Amino acid sequence: MILVSHMHGDHIGDKHQPSTNAGTCGKPTLSVKAAPNTNTINIALAKNATIVTGSEMRSFLGTKLAALGGDAKKSQLARFGSSRAFGGVKITTVPAVHSNGVNPAFIEGDLGKMLKAAGLAGYAGPPTGYVLTFSNGLVVYLSGDTGITAEQDSVVRRHYKARLVVMNIGDVFTTGPTEAAFVINELVKPASVIVSHANEVTTKDGKVIAGTKTEIFINATSVPVHIPLSGVTMEFDGNGKCVAGC
């Protein structure tokens, strides 16, 4: 499964490395352009994966799959307020406060050229976050790119009862580290959080660098914060507690 929160290039994939580990983690070599296909489409075709989105993104990505010899039905929809089961995992989309323009580079033909000339992006419906419910009972909130929303309290915590959060902290484009800490401490109130989308070099030799947004977030957050590291797989129990790879 591939879950797409919105159509920005750093999420849908507008370019990629020519080989594994090209460049550095903080400054990777991204010399291969993925437009107009997107990395998401290329990966879905290579892995025969199903793409899940909310709103009009489904038909846009389905059209791209079909144009490249894939199956448009491998792009599936999960609307706000509904849940769908895929392979034993229940998936629902929840609101995110962000933008969701489609880069004209992903839109072929005259329409793409006109949008680029006007400095505009295509419309693909609202961006989303996700709530996943796994077979061991673990409920995970994937924030996507979002600011603070009332639904993080009313929907994510009170209705779905998320126990693990993957939270963006990058600032400017999404919640900053102190705003993200407020989401965790006061709105969602999970058992654990995985930090994401820091938009800066965060670790050296597996340790958090002092003064980074990640350190600010950790110090401001009242629950355990787990750092995603290359090559390390974390496992969580049904209550959101990290039991391996922590």
Confidence class for position 94, pLDDT limits 50, 70, 90? very high
Confidence class for position 9, pLDDT limits 50, 70, 90? very high
Write down the mean pLDDT value for the chain.
95
H helix or E strand, kind and range, residue 216? helix 213-220
Rounded-to-integer distance, Cα 215 and Cα 29, Å = 26
Rounded-to-integer distance, Cα 56 and Cα 53, Å = 8
Rounded-to-integer distance, Cα 132 and Cα 162, Å = 9
3-state secondary structure (DSSP) of residue 185: helix
CB 166 within 8 A of CB 205: no
Confidence class for position 227, pLDDT limits 50, 70, 90? very high
pLDDT tens sequence across 177-204:
999 999 999 999 999 999 999 999 999 9
218 or 24, which is more confident: 218
Place of tokens 């895929």: 86
Q: Residue 25: its pLDDT value, please?
A: 80
pLDDT tens sequence across 214-223:
999 999 999 9
In 3D, which of 2, 150, 139 has the Cα closest to residue 74?
2
